[in-house]
């Protein structure tokens, strides 16, 4: 497996740290080496938040990704602007097209644009936008199974708000298949 260097970025409250945690849990479930490093401002919601996730078969030397991002999840324009230049040529950029409506300045990366709020609403819960993003990300990585990813969703969130389980799983499916 080639190392995965993922940055998930957005506003606080959009669930980007949770997406990163789920990728890390999924990697551990698949016996991979993993690091997860969050970064966020003092605000609970509305400030900036991002996390760096590195997944590899070998031990990971540093959790911070200075360059060579293989996958970027950008939930908003400022996050895209901040990290796009650090994506490796041939990398994948997943954007929330509800908040990023301009073409990317790079042509050497693969772009997956999803309507996160639209698909979350279709799944039954606006709060599930990060599950749409997680689905698109798991599709783009093409390393982990959908079944394992769904198990991680239920392990992480299943007991917190069981009434959202169906919507979360449906939102994940939409992100995975409707990119």
- 127 burial (CB, 10 Å; 0-12 / 13-18 / 19+) is middle
Residue ranges of domains in the chain, CATH in brackets: 4-177 (3.40.920.10)
pTM of the complete model: 0.94
Q: What is the pLDDT of residue 116?
A: 97
Enter the tokens of residue 32: 């991979």
Give the model confidence (pLDDT) of 95-106 as tens digits: 999 999 888 989
Provide the residue-wise pLDDT of the chain in tens; the chain has 179 residues.
Answer: 899 999 999 998 899 999 999 999 999 999 999 999 999 877 666 778 999 999 999 999 988 898 999 999 999 999 999 999 999 999 999 999 999 988 898 999 999 999 999 999 999 999 999 999 999 999 999 999 999 999 999 999 988 888 889 999 999 999 999 87
Three state DSSP letters for the chain: CCCEEEEEEEECCCCHHHHHHHHHHHHHHCCCEEEEEEEECCCCCCCEEEEEEEEECCCCCCCCCCCCEEEEEECCHHHHHHHHHHEEEEEEEEEECCCCCCCCCCCCCEEEEECHHHHHHHHCCHHHHHHHHHHHHHHHHCCCCHHHHHHHHHHHHCCCCHHHHHHHHHHHHHHHHCC
């Amino acid at each position: 497996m080639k190392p995965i260097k993922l940055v998930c970025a957005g506003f606080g409250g959009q669930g980007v740290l949770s997406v990163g945690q789920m990728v890390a849990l999924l990697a551990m479930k698949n016996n991979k080496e993993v690091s997860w490093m969050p970064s966020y401002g003092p605000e609970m919601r509305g400030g900036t938040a991002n996390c760096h996730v590195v997944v590899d078969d070998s031990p990971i030397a540093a959790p911070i990704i200075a360059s060579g991002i293989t996958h970027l999840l950008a939930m908003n324009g400022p996050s895209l602007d901040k990290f796009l230049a650090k994506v490796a040529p041939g990398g994948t950029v997943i954007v929330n097209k509800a908040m990023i409506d301009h073409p990317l300045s790079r042509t050497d990366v693969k772009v997956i644009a999803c309507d996160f709020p639209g698909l979350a609403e279709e799944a039954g819960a606006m709060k599930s936008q990060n599950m749409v993003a997680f689905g698109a990300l798991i599709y783009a990585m093409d390393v982990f199974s959908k079944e394992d990813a769904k198990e991680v969703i239920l392990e992480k969130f299943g007991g917190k708000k069981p009434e959202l389980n169906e919507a979360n799983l449906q939102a994940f499916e939409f992100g995975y298949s409707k990119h």
